[in-house]
Amino acid sequence: MTKEVRALFLILIITVAPLLVYAFLQVRSLDEDEKMAAAAYEKQLDVILFSLNQYADDMMNRWMRQLADQQNTLDENVTQLIIGNESIQMLVLRNTQTKQDSIYANDYVEINDSTYQKVADWYDRKDSVINRLSEYLAAGFQKIQPADGWKTISGLRADQTGVTVMVYDEDSILYNALFILEKKFWVEQVLGLQMQKIDQDQFTIAVGNWHEETQQSPNLFYQTTLFSLKKKFIRRNLWILPDTYLYIQSKGKSYTDLIQNRSRENLYFLLFSVMVVLIGAFLMIRNIKNTLKVAQLKSDFVSNVSHEIRTPLSLIRMYAETLMLGRVPSEEKKKQYYSTIHHESGRLTFLVNNILDFSRIEGNRKTYRLEKSELNTLAKRIHENFSHYFMEHQVKCKLHLSKVPLSILVDDQAFEEALSNLIENAVKYGNGQNEIELSTFEVNGFACCSIKDNGIGISKAAQKHIFDKFYRVEGALTQKTKGTGLGLSLVKHIMESHQGEVTVESKPNLGSTFTLKFPLNENGNE
Ligand code: ADP
């Protein structure tokens, strides 16, 4: 791991780690809050069902007080109860001493021998229950016991359930009373009103048959308003009737749902914040990486420039010394030396101009003087100026000029600088191919000047960066060629200042074409 990567990691950990820890703690505490709220809410629902159960108990106690009312005979009390409460399908009184059963029922109920038989069977099986209830009564507590376990009694409605209780008659003879009730009707008659009161706007209450053992889905036979078993609800057994349960759920969104939504919102917000910080950290790291890269490029630049200056300088110095010492054998050689000095100082000027221009651009001090010019004329002139350069590098540069004049507004000197950079590159990166092409033409209202080579070409990825300052493509072929990485960034700046652009088309090993595009000067030919 390099030093920089380590530093970047450190920054990432310092910025993001505390937030992640905070997010984690927050999520955990949200979860706990949610659980607490859910528990509190469940408690509230539980209390409501508890009160309903108590209400049902009270109502049944009232019946039992009516049954045990000593002012009348037991027979009268039973008759009154049956007449007053239609949910009582049948009431059996068993004399605990004689084991005789008397059956009371409404008119619509058919009582026959089989009814008596089923009742007697039930008592045979429930001896222990009756004994226990008797003990309670002897202790002064008239306990009402849920009763079940008889075979469906014909002549009654199928929806049969029951309660049983001990009672003394007027002669203090102990009886057991078995109430066989019509379940749904009983729920409606005894609890209906109370449940509707609770319902109001907030809760839905239902009553249903359910068996703890089978855990099958309940059969709800009474509901205050539409009850959904798919939504969250709580269930408690109805104390007074066997296998019967009370259900409650809140209408609309439950409190738990609300809490859950809220927790979820908080969580999303938190995740969003983490994302923002991560993006921030990412951008920061990218920025730092870029800065480091530019610093590296700058240091490469300094060494490249020194290298570029040293070669022509030592040549100039060497030839000037030789000339000064008069050691040159012939006039022809002298001429050759002067020409080299001239050429190398030209290179130095070009290099220094590039650097000066770059520094002006960086300091926002670079200005252009745009004047009406003709592109063909400019291109031709530069082509001529480069003839010596081409000869020296043994390169042939074909010139294809547009047949029509191309008038543009341009800073001649800047144009020369841009095109010179492109021509130098085409020669430098020509990879020994000794033919390049300089063309002018018009495309879509733009006067174009392109320079094409058959050299090393540029990969798609590198094409994105070649116009950046200091950038030089990595690779042996570029590295062995002298350069500062400034040329194309200058060209780009020059073209943007002319409301034009520089484009590149290139394929590795097949060559490149750079094109300078200037907006045509509409009034140019007037
Ligand atoms: P340099 O001083 O390195 O030539 P430039 O800004 O002129 O700087 O070019 C940037 C880089 O683009 C070069 O280093 C080279 O890798 C690549 N490049 C430019 N022109 C060409 C070309 N005609 N063919 C291939 N590569 C080129």
Task: Say if residue 127 is exposed, middle or buried (CB neighbours under 10 Å; 0-12, 13-18, 19+).
Answer: exposed
The answer to the question of residue 249 being in a domain is: no
327 lies in a domain? no
Q: For residue 133, which of 100, 90, 75, 176 has the smallest C-alpha distance?
A: 176
| Per-residue pLDDT tens digits for 109-149 | 888 888 999 999 999 999 999 999 999 999 989 899 999 88
Evaluate whether 518 touches 375 at the Cβ level (below 8 Å): yes
- Which residue's alpha carbon is at the smallest distance from atom 19 of ligand 1? 425
Could you tell me the distance, in angstroms and rounded to a whole number, from the CA of residue 144 to the centre of ligand 1?
Answer: 102
CA–CA distances in Å: residue 94 to residues 75, 171, 216: 12, 15, 36
Q: How far is the CA of 134 from the centre of ligand 1 (A)?
A: 110
**351 CA distance to ligand 1 centroid (A)?**
15
Residue 297 included in any domain: no
Query: Counting atoms of ligand 1 from 1, which one is nearest the CA of 478?
Result: 16
Residue 459 lies in a domain: yes
Q: Residue 211 is encoded by which pair of tokens?
A: 């068996």
pLDDT the model gives residue 214: 76
* % of the chain beyond a pLDDT of 70: 98
Least Cα distance to 151 among 127, 120, 175 occurs for 120
pLDDT at 281 over 50: yes
In this structure, the strands spanning 435-443 and 396-400 are parallel
Are the CB atoms for 163 and 60 separated by under 8 Å? yes
Ligand 1 contact via 429 beta carbon (within 6 Å):
yes
Model confidence at 278, in pLDDT bands (50, 70, 90)?
confident
Of the candidates 484, 482, 486, the residue with the CA atom closest to the CA atom of residue 469: 486
From the CB of 487, is ligand 1 less than 6 Å away? Answer: yes
Query: How far, in Å, from the CA of 466 to the mean position of ligand 1?
Result: 7
pLDDT of residue 461: 94
Residue 401 domain-assigned (yes or no): yes
Q: Distance (Å, rounded) from C-alpha 481 to C-alpha 447?
A: 31
| Position 31 pLDDT exceeds 70 | yes
Query: What is the span of the domain harbouring residue 497?
Result: 367-525
Nearest residue by C-alpha to atom 25 in ligand 1:
457
User: Is residue 159 over pLDDT 50?
Assistant: yes
Query: Which atom number of ligand 1 is nearest to the Cα of residue 486?
Result: 6
Q: Say how far apart CA 141 and CA 247 lie, in whole Å.
A: 30
Q: How many domains does the chain have?
A: 1
Q: Is the CB of 466 inside a 6 Å radius of any atom of ligand 1?
A: yes
Nearest CA to ligand 1 atom 8: 485
430 lines ligand 1 (CB under 6 A): no
Q: Letter for the amino acid at 287?
A: N
Judge whether 483 lies within some domain: yes
pLDDT at 321 (0 to 100): 93
User: Scanning the structure block, which residue is given the tokens 């493509």?
Assistant: 473
Ligand 1 site, residue 511, Cβ cutoff 6 A: no
- Whether 86 is in a domain gets the answer no
In a domain, 499, yes or no: yes
- Residue 421 Cβ < 6 Å to ligand 1: yes
What CATH number does residue 482 fall under? 3.30.565.10
